[in-house]
């Protein structure tokens, strides 16, 4: 489809700008949003010959009739139990942890230095521009050089209603040798037809350590796009885990850049797809410096008539010698009608590297099913146990502290669907 197409009317964009003005946000921010709106209009809706949308029915995600509406953002410390209300938190001096609008108003220099500085561009640019045009919610975390946050932080973005669209934008900036953990949940309590186009960009300066967990749990009728870019500087160590539990159609793009020697990234994702849901994951691991490491592991469990697409690429640039890069996509099919598409790609332009990728797709191992049956475990319970076991490999890579509540959320989603 041609450019100038949008999913939200110009009138509603004008209304959004008015609200930004009323919130007394600075003029540069209005300019930024106007530029993004123009860029959004200038990009075409993805079509059937776009390689970055291969295996996706792009006509089925043609959208209209949404009204922008920001998420309710609940920010605090990670609670011990359910991932609902955040626990109170008092960050150490220098640390900034606030909503997006507060960051724009109070920390403009910092915000502007990093906002969309190095975005992902894996095909969803039209939706990322839409996010920038309407962004009015999300979280902002800045941890200065040398500060180590021991308390994991938590942000919950809630979107409830009908025919509304939200554009959460999260920006995480870790200074040199800083460390932090952030768990974000994108949630719907009630509502049916929703649109979400989110962005979470992560910047880890040299020596920084970051654990980021994003849990997409939008309502089951939602159409959701999400763009994630992770920059890993020298000797920095970043672990990202994205859980895909909600939405009717969800697309998640993730670009991890290893820019300087010693950078390490663990890139993880778990998907539970049931009913007629569509999950679309596109990843890129760019190694542009020598002696970097990245390890991607995406696991999808598919029930009913669900369909997933995993399209990944490891790009080792010339001179990025001694790169260690791995990419693995495992699909567990749990019904005769589920469909998994896997496109694990490599583009290697340096010779002294260790790169492997793998993709496997299959049902439950009959031997494991037999083992369970022989011990009197009913098929449904056995099935659930085996799916949990399937996910355990990924969860095991997450530090103890954020893991328990994340696991609980995942278990609740597994219990909700499919059985």
Binding-site ranges for another protein (CB under 8 A): 49-51, 54-55, 318-319, 321, 331, 333-364
For another protein, the closer of residues 53 and 69 by Cβ is 53
The neighbour count for residue 43, using CB atoms within 10 Å, is 18
Helix (H) or strand (E) holding 333, with range, is: strand 324-333
Cα end-to-end distance, the chain, whole Å = 39
Strands 96-99, 339-348: pairing is: unpaired
Cβ burial of 102 (10 Å; 0-12, 13-18, 19+) is: middle
- Shortest distance (Å) from residue 379 CB to another protein: 13
- Shortest distance (Å) from residue 398 CB to another protein: 26
- Shortest distance (Å) from residue 346 CB to another protein: 4
For another protein, the closer of residues 64 and 381 by Cβ is 381
The neighbour count for residue 11, using CB atoms within 10 Å, is 8
For another protein, the closer of residues 197 and 285 by Cβ is 285
For another protein, the closer of residues 173 and 301 by Cβ is 301
Written as six digits, the tokens of 37 are 């709106």
- Shortest distance (Å) from residue 148 CB to another protein: 37
Written as six digits, the tokens of 112 are 């502007």
As a whole number of angstroms, the distance between CA 122 and CA 68 comes to 24
- Shortest distance (Å) from residue 302 CB to another protein: 8
* Strand residues in 205-302 grouped as ranges (E): 209-217, 223-232, 237-244, 249-258, 264-273, 278-287, 293-302
As a whole number of angstroms, the distance between CA 263 and CA 140 comes to 23
- Shortest distance (Å) from residue 352 CB to another protein: 6
Query: Is 419:381 a contact under the CB 8 Å cutoff?
Result: no
For another protein, the closer of residues 237 and 361 by Cβ is 361
- Shortest distance (Å) from residue 142 CB to another protein: 38
For another protein, the closer of residues 88 and 336 by Cβ is 336
The DSSP code sequence of 94-141 is T-EEEEHHHHHHH-HHHHHHHTTSS---SS-HHHHHHHHHH--B-EEE
3-class DSSP state of 256? strand
3-class DSSP state of 232? strand
Q: In Å, what is the CA distance from 35 to each residue of 25, 39, 196?
A: 16, 6, 20
- Shortest distance (Å) from residue 392 CB to another protein: 20
As a whole number of angstroms, the distance between CA 12 and CA 33 comes to 13
For another protein, the closer of residues 99 and 361 by Cβ is 361
- Shortest distance (Å) from residue 91 CB to another protein: 43
For another protein, the closer of residues 92 and 345 by Cβ is 345
Written as six digits, the tokens of 110 are 């910092």
For another protein, the closer of residues 110 and 364 by Cβ is 364
For another protein, the closer of residues 29 and 391 by Cβ is 391
As a whole number of angstroms, the distance between CA 324 and CA 47 comes to 34
- Shortest distance (Å) from residue 353 CB to another protein: 6
């Amino acid at each position: 489809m041609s450019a100038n197409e949008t999913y939200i009317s110009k009138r509603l964009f004008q209304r959004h700008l008015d609200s930004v003005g009323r919130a007394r946000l600075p003029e540069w921010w209005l300019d930024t949003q106007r530029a993004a709106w123009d860029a959004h209009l200038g990009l075409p809706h993805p079509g059937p010959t776009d390689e970055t949308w291969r295996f996706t029915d792009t006509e089925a995600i043609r959208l209209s009739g949404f009204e922008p509406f920001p998420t309710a953002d609940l920010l605090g410390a990670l609670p011990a139990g359910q991932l609902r209300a955040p626990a109170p938190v008092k960050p150490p001096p220098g640390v900034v942890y606030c909503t997006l609008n507060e960051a724009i108003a109070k920390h403009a220099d910092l915000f502007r230095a990093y906002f969309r500085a190095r975005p992902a561009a894996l095909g969803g640019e039209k939706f990322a521009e839409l996010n920038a045009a309407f962004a009015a919610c999300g979280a902002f975390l800045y941890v200065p050089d040398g500060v180590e946050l021991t308390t994991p932080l938590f942000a919950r973005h809630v979107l409830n209603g009908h025919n509304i669209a939200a554009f959460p934008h999260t920006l995480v900036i870790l200074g040199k040798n800083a460390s932090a953990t952030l768990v974000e949940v994108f949630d719907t309590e009630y509502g049916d037809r929703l649109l979400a186009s989110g962005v979470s960009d992560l910047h880890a300066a040299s020596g920084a350590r970051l654990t980021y967990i994003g849990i997409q749990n939008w309502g089951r009728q939602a159409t959701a796009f999400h763009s994630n870019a992770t920059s890993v500087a020298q000797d920095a160590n970043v672990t990202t885990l994205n859980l895909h539990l909600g939405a009717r159609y969800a697309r998640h793009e993730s670009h991890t850049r290893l820019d300087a020697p010693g950078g390490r990234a663990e890139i993880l994702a778990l998907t539970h797809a049931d009913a007629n849901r569509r999950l679309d994951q596109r990843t890129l691991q760019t190694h542009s410096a020598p002696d970097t490491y990245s390890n991607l592991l995406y696991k999808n469990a598919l029930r009913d008539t669900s369909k997933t697409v995993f399209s990944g690429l490891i790009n080792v640039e010339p001179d990025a010698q001694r790169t260690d890069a791995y990419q693995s996509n495992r699909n567990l099919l749990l019904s005769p009608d589920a469909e998994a598409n896997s496109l694990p790609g490599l583009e290697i332009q340096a010779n002294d590297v260790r790169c492997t990728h793998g993709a496997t797709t299959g049902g439950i191992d009959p031997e494991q099913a037999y083992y369970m049956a022989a011990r009197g475990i009913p098929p449904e319970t056995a099935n659930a146990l085996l799916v949990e076991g399937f996910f355990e490999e990924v969860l095991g890579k997450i530090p103890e502290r954020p893991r328990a509540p994340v696991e609980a959320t995942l278990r609740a989603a597994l219990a909700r669907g499919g059985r």
